[in-house]
Structure 1
Amino acid sequence: MQQEDKLKTISYSGIFLSCFADYSEKCIHATPEHVLVYLYSGEQIIEDRNKKIKLQAGDCAFIRRDHRLKMYKNSKGEDLYKGISLTFNRNVLRDFYSKMNKSEIPKGVKISDKTVFKLEPSPAIESLFQSLTPYFDSNIKPTEGVTHLKLLEGIYALLNSNELFYPILFDFAEPWKIDLLEFLNSNYMEELSMEQIASFTGRSLATFKRDFKKISNLTPQKWLIKKRLEMAYIKLKEEGRKVQGVYMEVGFKNPSHFSTAFKKQYGISPTEI
């Protein structure tokens, strides 16, 4: 997420994130680790494939790792967006699991295929996140010990809220890969770096480049430009759209760059269509 005057992100040990904004912020979010999000004020919309989950003040959601989501963080009336999230990395979860009494782990719990879980209100969740506000409203930095204890408190709160979190939190398999073409065809218009595409599809940058060579002779950058131009051609030719409304929609930021690239591929300028 970009640092801007109207968007402030504070991170302590990479664990707690607090965002404040007086405008709407859209971001594509990769979740390499499990995240627990709590909203103090404003509104947050999490878009997972064709589903939308809306969070308002007091709401909390668990986001599963190794998934790509779109998030919209909005102010609501005079209430600015303000949220905190806890990130549970694998080392913390492995350490927690190693110290558990295994006989107390529920048996036969089916692994859910959901990505985002909106949690029911509970005293455990409420007290956990309310205890974190002083660290973001002042310049006091929590110690490593405090941040670790808050993570453990978050794990206990999840496990006590629903037993389905046991197989999710303590699944230490490697991240899965998602289909590259499916991802690119769905997100060609987004401004993503190669590193982001690799991360969102569950790959290292080197693995992404190697896998991409198996599906195209073009570089990823050239493939994206070609795809954007093809979609622009369809919108202009078959849908009768105007150039001004198309170039940004397909992912170009500059109309002259769009026009030059379009003419190079199709031999005519987009206005001639």
Structure 2
Amino acid sequence: MKKHPDNIFSENIVYSLDTKKQTEYDNLLWESVLLLQVSGQMIFETSSEKITAHPGEIYLVRKHQFIKTTKTPINNEEYKAVLFILKEDVLRKYALERNLNVREKYKDKANLRLAESPYIKSFFNSLKPYLQDPKNIQDPLNILKVKEAVELLMRLNFDLTGFLFDFSEPHKADLDSFMRQNFKFNVSIEKFALLTGRSLASFKRDFKKTFNLPPRQWLQHRRLAAAHFEIEKNRKKPSAIYLELGFESLSHFHFAFKKQFGYTPKDIINQHKTK
């Protein structure tokens, strides 16, 4: 399965995901996303939940999350999803214009399936001309489209105020708890630092104090330990888990596994067969 870069949403406000093959990627969502599943199936997993999006479903996905996404075409149809990025600079301007003041940090569900709405569907239909070249949506049009999306979402559910207009930065997270929840995500060390509310230097320093290992070494050991458990206890095949556990290739996974444990996944599988 092809791995996608973890910064695909950095420039555009609308992004179309199309493929005829199953693909998987890990990402850091630094801004909230409005997602329409058009065809095929998307499974997206965060540190707190795993969701399967089916055709016609629309989700509002919270910023400041790692997300592992698997896209699967179904019934010989091309997979397609449309994502609209709710740019925070526009949200800030909107909040000022409307005199919205959200004082408490949002603590409710991070990923919301939205109720069916002809207005939201019409909004996604209005984006179709831009999907071939999303960068065509420039100021002031991109500002107007983000504001339009916010107006429609607020009409659908005014309780989304806290979701949309919480501009607080990630707090300084407890490293032990955070890393054990998020070690499976194959993103850069810099992005781990961002979501724990630390500079890169501070993250590395605190990490060494917490785990007595540098981040990359700890991540590999932790991922391999999880892989060993899945193969030995749950009898999973390496090909079924290596991407899920943050490895970029099956060959690298096999090499690292043999180096850490002194035997291969196949040795464990052969032990199962002799029992």
Give the TM interval when normalised to the shorter protein. 0.7 to 0.9
Deviation at 1:70, TM superposition (A): 2.5
Work out which of the residue numbers 60, 63, 66 in structure 1 matches 2:61.
63
Identity between Structure 1 and Structure 2 (%): 31
Match of 2:201 among 186, 203, 206: 206
- Does the aligned pair in 2 maintain the 1:30–1:199 contact within 8 Å? no
Amino acid paired to 1:72:
T
Q: Deviations over 1:122-168 (max 9, x none)?
A: 12211111011112247992342222211111111111111111122
Q: TM-score, normalised by structure 2?
A: 0.76
Identify unmatched segments of 5+ residues in structure 1.
4-8, 264-268
| Cα distance, 1:58 vs structure 2 | 2.3
3-state SS, counterpart of residue 14 of structure 1: coil
Task: Give the alignment partner of residue 88 of structure 1, picking from 80, 86, 89.
Answer: 86
Change (3 A) 1:111 1:191: closer
Instruction: Specify the SS of the correspondent of 2:52.
Output: strand
| CA–CA separation in structure 2 for the residues paired with 1:246 and 1:22 | 20
Match of 1:259 in 2: 258
- 1:142 and 2:137 correspond: yes
Q: Tell me which residue corresponds to 1:21.
A: 19
Match of 2:117 among 86, 110, 122: 122
Moved more, 147-156 or 227-236: 227-236
Assess, with a 3 A threshold, how the Cα gap between structure 1 residues 80 and 200 changes in structure 2: closer, same or farther: farther
Report which of the two structures shows the higher radius of gyration computed on alpha carbons: 1
Aligned-partner residue type, residue 169 of structure 2: E
What is the one-letter code of the residue matched to 2:159? Answer: L
- Report the Cα distance in structure 2 between the residues aligned to 1:23 and 1:153, rounded to whole angstroms: 33
**Alignment check: 8 A CA contact 1:198 1:205 kept:** yes
Q: Does the 8 A contact of 1:247 with 1:258 survive in 2? A: no
The alignment status of 1:2 with 2:4, answered yes or no, reads yes
**1:42 aligned residue (32, 40, 43):** 40
Q: Report if the CA contact (8 A) 1:15-1:86 is conserved.
A: yes
Aligned 8 A contact 1:111 1:164 in 2: no
Mapping for residues 100-115 of structure 1, pairs under 5 Å: 100=98, 113-115=108-110
CA contact (8 A) 1:43 1:56 kept: yes
Is 1:156 aligned to residue 151 of structure 2?
A: yes
Answer yes or no: is the 8 Å Cα contact 1:111–1:167 preserved in 2: yes
1:6 corresponds in structure 2 to none
SS in 1 for 2:136: coil
- Indicate how the Cα distance of structure 1 residues 195 and 231 shifts in structure 2: closer, same or farther if over 3 A, else same: same
CA distance in 1: counterparts of 2:91 and 2:10, whole angstroms: 18
Number of equivalent positions: 258
Deviation at 1:64, TM superposition (A): 1.3
Q: Distance in 2 between matches of 1:110 and 1:120?
A: 24
Tell me if structure 2 keeps the 8 A contact 1:63–1:115: yes
1:64–1:116: 8 Å Cα contact kept in structure 2? yes
Asked if residue 169 in structure 1 is aligned to residue 171 in structure 2, the reply is no
Change in Cα spacing, 1:254 to 1:59, as seen in structure 2 (3 Å) is: closer
Q: Structure 1 residue 53: deviation in Å?
A: 2.8
The SS at the match of 1:168 is helix
Deviation at 1:257, TM superposition (A): 4.1
Partners of 2:4 and 2:26 within 8 A in 1: no
| Amino acid corresponding to residue 74 of structure 2 in structure 1 | K
Q: Secondary structure at the match of 2:171?
A: coil
| Larger deviation, residues 86-95 vs 125-134 | 86-95
Q: Which amino acid aligns with 1:37?
A: L
Q: Secondary structure at the match of 1:125?
A: helix
* Deviation at residue 215 of structure 1 after TM alignment: 0.5
**1:182/1:24 CA distance change after superposition, 3 Å:** farther
Residues 140, 49 of structure 1: alpha-carbon distance in 2 compared, 3 angstrom cutoff: closer
